[in-house]
Amino acid sequence: MENINLVDTFAEFKELKNIDRPTMMSVLEDVFRATLIKLYGSDDNFDIIINIDKGDFEIWHNREVVEDGKVEDPGRQIALSEARKIDADFEVGEEVTSEVKFADFGRRAILALRQNLTSRIMELEKNNLYNKYKDRVGDLITGEVYQVWKKEIMVLDDEGNELVLPKTEQIPTDFYHKGDSIRAVVYKVEMKNNTPQIILSRTANAFLERLFELEVPEIFDGLITIKKIVRIPGERAKVAVESYDDRVDPVGACVGMKGNRIHGIVRELRNESIDVINYTNNTQLFIQRALSPAKITSIKFDETTKRAEVYLKPSEVSLAIGKGGYNIKLASQLTGYEIDVYRESEGEDEEDVNLDEFADEIEGWIIDTLKGIGCDTAKSVIEIPFKELVKRTDLEEETVKEILKILKSEFE
């Protein structure tokens, strides 16, 4: 068996696993030295020269010349007569350097060396894969579907590493064939039986967040911050966003011109409905926005139990609850309040007056501001305490007083 055979074997691993040159040389030398220690008891009087570019290596054995019959350690000493077979000029006390042929190791030692080399490379590859992905949890990756099973999909990354997308981390309507391109986030990285497992996810909130960063430059650049994401994969999601620059409309930027940005994300999520909400520290306003598209008449809070009683017109209740109860469920998760929906009596609704009816007395932009906080009727505005109304609308106190005066006069 020639030297080059072993190096060729290693070169195959190098091509496949992309192991760097210094690491490759270090592994080869370590494996050879382990074999030398096993055969000779020590490796400190051996020189190993590895030429990766040419694909060969040399092992040189250094020994001291001693008189015939006085060889005590064959690994470190050589008889004068044997030394002179190499070069007739050698004398006692000099050092002889002779090449160790690979075949001299013996068949069993060569097999053990090859197995050791293979084992080291596989171990190195496992460590490389683990180290590569352990700091990439939450990162978006694009891979190729290699194998589809009932409970999981095997995905290959751009270096041919095997990643796993479990069924539980797939959107319910996901359907892939071998060879399909797939996007997901790195969900977790763990070692099982000394083998790294890279788990992907398309249902994690981080996946939706990475898609927004990809589609919305303002988020990627930090002009818009995603405060919170809640979702029922494949059905509905709510994303609270905030901008620290008053010139940037966070919701408008996320949706894009004619919805072009949000549509790309919706398609990737298999038509998952996405509500983008302007974040606010005002809890009442945040709950109103979270329950969009339903329009709320009034809200009562219980801070102790973190519950909110939301009152709506009968026609708005179904919108607040949403298909399958998803809207109210996600609104509760987004705001951190358990939301209870109540219908207002129709008698009260009949006595109420739509804000649009006051267009000749109240400016249009003020009416739009009131609608923006969930008030579309006169009573829904009147029922909000004065200071709370000022805070929520960000209108001047005198303006709010004038509005209340106009609205209350309607019922006097």
- The 10s digit of each residue's pLDDT in 241-287 is 999 888 889 999 999 998 999 999 999 999 999 999 999 999 999 99
Write the CB contacts of 408 (distance below 8 Å, at least 6 apart in sequence). 382
- For all residues of the chain together, what is the average pLDDT? 85
Asked if residue 82 and residue 33 are part of one domain, the reply reads yes
- Top mean-pLDDT range of 31-45, 53-67, 160-174, 361-375: 160-174
Question: What pLDDT was estimated at residue 332?
Answer: 94
Q: Of 193, 386, 198, 196, which Cα lies nearest the Cα of 184?
A: 198
Q: Examine residue 217 and say whether the peptide bond preceding it is cis (omega within 30 degrees of 0).
A: no
- Asked if the structure places residue 21 within a domain, the reply is yes
Residues 350-405 have pLDDT tens digits of: 467 888 888 888 888 888 888 777 777 888 888 888 888 888 788 889 999 999 98
Write the CB contacts of 18 (distance below 8 Å, at least 6 apart in sequence). 159
- Asked if the structure places residue 174 within a domain, the reply is yes
* The dihedral formed by the CA atoms of 124, 126, 127 and 131, expressed in degrees to the nearest 10: 140
- Judged against a pLDDT cut of 80, whether residue 10 lies above it is answered with no
- Asked if the structure places residue 285 within a domain, the reply is no
Higher-confidence residue: 44 or 230? 230
CATH number at residue 386: 1.10.150.20
**Own/partner pairs for 67-70, CB < 8 Å, 24+ apart?**
67/92
Residues 312-321 have pLDDT tens digits of: 887 787 888 8
CATH number at residue 239: 3.30.300.20
Q: CB of 140 within 8 A of CB of 207?
A: yes
DSSP label at 275?
E
Split at pLDDT 50, 70, 90, the class of 1 is: very low
Per-position DSSP letters for 299-325, written without gaps between them: EEEETTTTEEEEEE-HHHHHHHH-GGG
373 CB-contact burial (10 Å; exposed 0-12 / middle 13-18 / buried 19+): buried
Residue labelled with tokens 């996320």: 254
CATH number at residue 190: 2.40.50.140
What is the number of residues in the chain? 412
Asked if residue 64 and residue 41 are part of one domain, the reply reads yes
Asked if residue 33 and residue 98 are part of one domain, the reply reads yes
Question: What pLDDT was estimated at residue 119?
Answer: 81
Asked if residue 260 and residue 176 are part of one domain, the reply reads no
- Asked if the structure places residue 330 within a domain, the reply is no
- Asked if the structure places residue 185 within a domain, the reply is yes
CATH number at residue 51: 3.30.1480
- Asked if the structure places residue 53 within a domain, the reply is yes
Asked if residue 124 and residue 14 are part of one domain, the reply reads yes
Asked if residue 8 and residue 124 are part of one domain, the reply reads yes
- Judged against a pLDDT cut of 50, whether residue 349 lies above it is answered with no
Question: What pLDDT was estimated at residue 52?
Answer: 63
Could you count the other beta carbons within 10 Å of the beta carbon of residue 35? 19
Where among 203, 221, 241 does a domain terminate? Answer: 203
Asked if residue 113 and residue 21 are part of one domain, the reply reads yes
Region for 120 from its dihedrals, namely left if φ exceeds 0, alpha if ψ lies in -120 to 50, beta otherwise:
alpha
Asked if residue 9 and residue 88 are part of one domain, the reply reads yes
Q: CB of 7 within 8 A of CB of 114?
A: no
Separation between Cα atoms, residue 294 and residue 303, nearest integer Å: 23
Asked if residue 209 and residue 181 are part of one domain, the reply reads no
Model's pTM, two decimal places?
A: 0.65
Region for 203 from its dihedrals, namely left if φ exceeds 0, alpha if ψ lies in -120 to 50, beta otherwise:
alpha
Asked if residue 115 and residue 52 are part of one domain, the reply reads yes
Where among 160, 182, 203 does a domain terminate? Answer: 203
- Asked if the structure places residue 161 within a domain, the reply is yes
Radius of gyration of the chain (CA): 37
Percentage of the residues of the chain whose pLDDT score is greater than 70:
92
Domain encompassing residue 270? 204-279
Separation between Cα atoms, residue 272 and residue 305, nearest integer Å: 32
Where among 99, 131, 163 does a domain terminate? Answer: 131
Separation between Cα atoms, residue 104 and residue 106, nearest integer Å: 5
Question: What pLDDT was estimated at residue 104?
Answer: 72
Asked if residue 158 and residue 95 are part of one domain, the reply reads no
Residue labelled with tokens 């190096």: 7
Q: CB of 195 within 8 A of CB of 189?
A: no
Q: How many domains does the chain have?
A: 4
Asked if residue 212 and residue 183 are part of one domain, the reply reads no
Residue labelled with tokens 């927004």: 212
- Asked if the structure places residue 65 within a domain, the reply is yes
Q: Of 285, 268, 265, 269, which Cα lies nearest the Cα of 277?
A: 285
Mean pLDDT within 183-212: 94
Which residue type does 196 have?
P
266 CB-contact burial (10 Å; exposed 0-12 / middle 13-18 / buried 19+): middle
